[in-house]
């Protein structure tokens, strides 16, 4: 087996230790609810390292949400022709809030994945799990 890249593991929501097991059950946008697994199905790595560990994911989600809101506001400004009238205020509010609502499952999932992969210093990739 070839070595699984960190980018692949981040994008697909894989375990930071073995990069094979899924962090979440369910799909990102589907009728089944996405839940965080307690342990990796492949290497038995415990995802919630300590009680309340994923509260820190709120800060990552906040940063993602701010970037998305600014991007949506700028995109609405450019696509609307640069209107700065009172009527366009409701256009911006509608675009930004609907974008936040649509991207909420994405933010939930990837704030936890980013927290596990980049902000946890004691999680190291174990190449042992790449062997057949």
Confirm if 76 and 95 have CB atoms less than 8 A apart. Answer: yes
C-beta of residue 28 within 8 angstroms of C-beta of residue 13: no
Among residues 3, 25, 12, the alpha carbon closest in space to that of 117 is found at 12
- Which two structure tokens, joined as six digits, stand for 35? 């839940």
Radius of gyration of the chain (CA): 18
- Decide if pLDDT at 127 tops 70: no
Q: What are phi and psi of 46, to 5 degrees?
A: -85, 120
Confidence of residue 83 (pLDDT cuts 50, 70, 90): low
Res 87 pLDDT > 80: no
Please report the pLDDT score of residue 86 as a whole number.
57
- Secondary structure letter of residue 101 according to DSSP: H
Helix residue spans in 4-49 (DSSP H): 6-12
Return the structure tokens found at 115.
Answer: 């927290």
Tell me: pLDDT of 132 over 60.
Answer: no
Domain positions in the chain: 6-130
pLDDT in tens, 10-41: 888 888 888 888 888 877 787 667 788 888 88
Q: Whole-model pTM?
A: 0.78
Look at residue 63 in the predicted model and tell me its pLDDT.
Answer: 94
**Over residues 54-61, mean pLDDT:** 89
Between CA 120 and CA 17 the distance in angstroms is: 11
In Å, how far are 20, 31, 41, 75, 124 from 103, measured between CA atoms? 25, 16, 27, 16, 30
């Amino acid at each position: 087996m070839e070595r699984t890249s960190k980018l692949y593991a981040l994008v697909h929501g894989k375990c930071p230790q073995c990069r094979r097991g899924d962090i979440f059950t369910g799909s990102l946008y589907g009728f089944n609810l996405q839940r965080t697994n307690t342990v990796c199905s492949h290497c038995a790595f415990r995802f919630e390292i300590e009680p309340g560990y994923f509260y820190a994911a709120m800060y990552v989600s906040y940063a993602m949400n701010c970037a998305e809101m600014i991007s949506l506001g700028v995109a609405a400004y450019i696509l609307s022709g640069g209107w700065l009238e009172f009527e366009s205020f409701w256009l911006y509010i509608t675009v930004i809030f609907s974008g936040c609502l649509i991207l909420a499952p994405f933010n939930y999932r990837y704030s936890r994945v980013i927290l596990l992969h980049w902000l946890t210093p004691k999680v190291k990739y174990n190449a042992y799990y790449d062997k057949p």
